[in-house]
């Protein structure tokens, strides 16, 4: 086991270039869509997706179908759980608000995994999108930020694909 990957020692330029490109793309996304930002957890999902796109561009989870589709499914799953369990439509539930919050989070993640796997849109960070809707609340801005960010990452991957290689 090594502290520094042997591949880095052989070709450090790929690691440096792809990390800088990732930082640039995320910076641009955050700058352009700063008015749409929906909370720290949603931005964390963007960071994890960026890692996959720029460190593992050949990964099946970096494909546009999975990147965009996964976040769309995560958004739908989180939205469903939010409106069913948290939006205040339940009249004096027999359990505490904390219990409802836990159930909503569990439902959002479980549903997102189920839907991603049956639709071939598996993208692990998208489960964070689902639970992000529960913790931050649903809004049109959050939904737009998630979808536009995933689209921008997919477009960046496509445009930069000739310059990207798997760093694993």
pLDDT at 90: 59
The contacts found for 162-167 with CB under 8 angstroms, 24 or more apart, are 163/17, 163/18, 163/21, 164/18, 164/21, 164/54, 164/57, 165/14, 165/18, 165/57, 165/58, 166/55, 166/56, 166/57, 166/58, 166/59, 167/5, 167/7, 167/14, 167/15, 167/18, 167/55, 167/56
On whether residue 36 sits in a domain, the answer given is: yes
9 vs 55 pLDDT, higher one = 55
Coarse DSSP helix, strand, coil percentages of the chain, rounded to the nearest 5 percent? 75, 0, 25
Is 3 contained in some domain?
no
pLDDT bucket at 154, cuts 50 / 70 / 90: very high
pLDDT per residue as tens digits for the range 68-124: 999 999 999 999 999 998 876 655 567 788 888 899 999 999 999 999 999 999 999
Number of domains in the chain: 1
pLDDT greater at residue 95 or residue 13: 13
Q: Domain range holding 154? A: 13-163
* Confidence grade of residue 155 (pLDDT, cut at 50, 70, 90): very high
Asked if residue 168 is part of any domain, the answer here is no
Inter-residue contact 121 to 65 (CB < 8 Å): yes
Band of pLDDT at residue 20, cut at 50, 70 and 90:
very high
- CB atoms near residue 124 (< 10 Å): 17
Mean pLDDT of 17-34: 86
Q: Which of 22-26, 63-67, 97-101, 114-118 has the lowest mean pLDDT?
A: 97-101
Residue 7 counted as domain residue:
no
Residue 38 has pLDDT above 60, yes or no: no
The chain-wide mean pLDDT, for the chain, equals 89
């Amino acid at each position: 086991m090594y502290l520094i990957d042997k591949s880095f020692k052989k070709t450090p330029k790929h690691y440096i270039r792809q990390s800088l490109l990732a930082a640039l793309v995320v910076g641009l996304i955050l700058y352009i869509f700063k008015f749409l930002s929906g909370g720290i957890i949603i931005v964390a999902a963007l960071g994890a997706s960026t890692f996959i796109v720029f460190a593992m561009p050949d990964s099946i989870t970096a494909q546009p179908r999975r990147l965009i589709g996964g976040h769309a499914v995560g958004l739908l799953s989180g939205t469903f759980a939010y409106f069913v369990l948290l939006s205040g439509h339940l009249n004096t539930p027999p359990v505490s608000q904390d219990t409802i919050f836990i159930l909503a989070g569990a439902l959002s993640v479980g549903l997102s995994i189920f839907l991603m796997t049956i639709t071939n849109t598996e993208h692990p960070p998208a489960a964070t999108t689902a639970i992000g809707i529960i913790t931050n609340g649903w809004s049109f801005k959050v939904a737009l930020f998630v979808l536009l960010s995933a689209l921008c990452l997919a477009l960046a991957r496509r445009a930069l694909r000739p310059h990207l290689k798997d760093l694993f």
